Structure 1
Amino acid sequence: MDSTLPGAAARGFDAYRNKWDSQLGARLPGFSSATTGDFRVRAHAVRMRDLMMVDIHGVSGIRTERPANSVEGEIQLYVVSSGAYTLDDGSGRGGYTVSAGQFLLRRLERPGNFEMQPHTTAKVIAAMSSTLEPLLRKRGITGAAESAEIRLLMAHANMVRTMLADLGPDGAHAARNALIELVKGAALGRFDDMEPRLAPALAQAAKDLADRRLADPELSPALLARELNVSMRTLQRAFAAVGESANTYIRYRRLEEARLALTASPDRPSVSELAAYWQFSDSSHFIRAFKKAYGRTPAEYARAIGTAEERAVPRRVV
């Protein structure tokens, strides 16, 4: 759902609300007139039985004046990437403001209002769970979105968002249960590293972290395990479950980034520069690894790209 696209602003809030109601079978809260008058929001929502997950980005600010029909006892997780999300807990005792880089996990005592600053991006997960309810009675848990437990949860949630349309009923049920288990880990500040359902999430979280630190000379499976607060054995088991190894993934991604750099024109880096930047011990080592992966040396690959580019340039007829 996207009311930020060209032409969508004219249809605005009513079109967004109708799509939300018809596709999710849920009702939106009552919004302030200022919100509905300038409603520029992008959202992607999925429902799995009693669990709903929403990725939302509000270009405009959002403020409610009447709560949605939320259910008391519902477990709600808010992970904010930018901006701020303020929630009234409905008790009269105040509420919570979740700023960028933070999360809030709470049990809903009674429905309340919320407000989002302009340009707020957040992931919201809501579910009924008898497993989680005893952990959150009368309290909310806040912390850093970069914690190991939230990293794992977000990696799994993003995989679910991407793959849900291709999952059958059993797969969707398993994905939902793994998500609940990861929310439990966020509540406890740890997760069960022997739980096999969590292996794909752990492997994906490690990949996400590796992707952000590919040029770091300290990047290694040991660093990934340390950052994700798991043992090396647990990390190795997670990668084995998805048919890979952490070292192989790091090597593949570094080579792929080096390959892409060779397509840059006209400022292609030299082989020695690529080898140093992507943490290969020397140029010879880099050349051998590149040829094994792509069937050509870096120089041969760059020449082939250059020839293809020359052929693609239209010739001027005099």
Structure 2
Amino acid sequence: MNSTGGNADGSGGASSGDCALPDTAPRPFDLFRSGWETEIGDGFPLPTFSPATTRDFRVKSRATKVGDVAITDLHGASPIRTEGPLNGVEDQVRMYVVQRGSWTLRAQLARSEQTVSAGQFLLRHIGRPLHFETPPDTTAKVLVLPAAMLKPLLGERQSITGSAVSAEVRLLVAHSNMIYETVADLGSAGVHAAHSTLIELAKAVARQRVDDAEPRLAPALAQAAKDLADSHLADPELSGTMLARELNVSVRNLQRAFAAAGESVSAYIRRRRLEEARLALTAPSGRLSVSELAAHWQFADSSHFIRAFKKHYGRTPIEYARSTMPVGN
């Protein structure tokens, strides 16, 4: 699902809901609700949103379903609040991973509430429906998971909170993001595998440890390491050892996960650094020199950088930069 005023086609991006719409055009919230019903279905009904929320609904979202698991990514430029009667029973486990803003859960009549702040996650068994509220500029991932497989791991606690950058959460987030990209092309066996891995990773969050030797987790482990590497490409300490330490896995199992995808850890880091250097060479202004690029992207010296660049792109950095210059310059 894809919404803010535009599409409900299951793709990853979202169009802006801030533009003026003719009176006959569907409201952004109506498009969101239609997309949800199309992509997620009756098994995961939407709650009742406050009129203020539906009137000023500036939310980008995407959602998908894998068996009895629903995944939603949401960024709300406007505040979101649900209200109204809360009836019935919800025997579900939900996980909230908040990147920005906050997510507050509360019962209809209870005085207590629980808030997940930016950089935190909450894994909680939901026995009865709860209202939720988010302030403007909240970004979060929400997973609805089967209670039968996860509730026993929560025990008397009923909920677990912690850092959103823990190894277990990083792997779960990486795998759920991969599902968005692949679910449309998966056959029944692929859907089953994706679902099984989601459940195993959710169990790892509940146990607060991951079995990095589990073969089913290799793709998620490799993707989580790639995501982490991409945010540290200019770091001189970036290596397979550093990634394994941050993800709380063994170097050997991390290397195995990369090998299964056909690329070593060091090869991935070098390729991504070369890609970023290539983009810098074509920047319209403020271009760095070859020696500055080599230093910034952690190559031993200019000669090593030039050789690696030519081997990868077939031209030296200067030749590549000249080939991208507009005619007449």
Q: TM-score, normalised by structure 2?
A: 0.88
1:84 to 77, 92, 102: 102
| Superposition deviation, residue 10 in structure 1 | 6.2
Q: Mark the runs of 5 or more structure 1 residues left unpaired by the alignment.
A: 314-318
User: Counterpart in 2 of 1:265?
Assistant: 284
Match of 1:158 in 2: 177
Quick one: distance in 1 between partners of 2:264 and 2:108? 48
Q: Deviations over 1:214-240 (max 9, x none)?
A: 000111110000000011011011101
Between structure 1 and structure 2, the one with the greater Rg is 1
Q: 1:69 to 1:202 in 2, by over 3 A?
A: farther
| Pairs within 5 Å for 1:205-244 | 205-244=224-263
* Secondary structure in structure 1 of the residue aligned to 2:46: coil
* 1:47-86 mapped onto 2 (5 Å cutoff): 47-66=65-84, 72-86=90-104
Q: Alpha-carbon deviation of 1:285?
A: 1.1
**Is the CA contact (8 Å cut-off) linking 1:90 and 1:109 kept in structure 2?**
no
**Partner Cα separation in structure 1 for residue 35 and residue 319 of structure 2:** 52
Query: Which residue number in structure 2 is paired with residue 11 of structure 1?
Result: 27
1:114 aligned residue (105, 120, 132): 132
What amino acid is aligned across from residue 146 of structure 1 in structure 2? V
Q: One-letter code of the match for 2:246?
A: E
Q: 1:143 is matched with which residue? A: 162
Partner of 1:316: none
Give the Cα–Cα distance (whole angstroms) in 1 for the partners of residues 292 and 104 of structure 2.
47
Aligned mates of 1:264, 1:25 — CA distance in 2:
45
Unaligned stretches of 5+ residues in structure 2: 6-15
Name the aligned partner's letter for residue 251 of structure 2: M
Alpha-carbon distance change, 205 to 32 in structure 1, aligned in 2, over 3 angstroms:
same
**Structure 1 68/164 Cα, relative in aligned 2: closer, same or farther at 3 Å?**
farther
Cα distance change on mapping 1:285 and 1:68 into 2, 3 Å: farther
SS at match of 2:142: strand
**Larger mean Cα displacement after TM superposition, 61-70 or 48-57:** 61-70
Task: State the partner residue of 1:310.
Answer: 327
Q: Taking structure 1 as reference, are residues 83 and 266 closer, same or farther at Cα in structure 2, changes over 3 Å only?
A: closer
- Are the counterparts in 2 of residues 225 and 231 from structure 1 also a CA contact under 8 Å? yes
Alignment partners' CA distance in 1, 2:192 and 2:86? 26
- Tell me by how many angstroms 1:130 deviates: 2.4
Q: TM-score, normalized by length of structure 1?
A: 0.91
2:82 match: secondary structure: strand
Sequence identity, in percent? 59
Name the count of aligned residue pairs. 310
Give the superposition deviation at 1:303.
2.2
Q: Distance in 2 between matches of 1:44 and 1:70?
A: 27
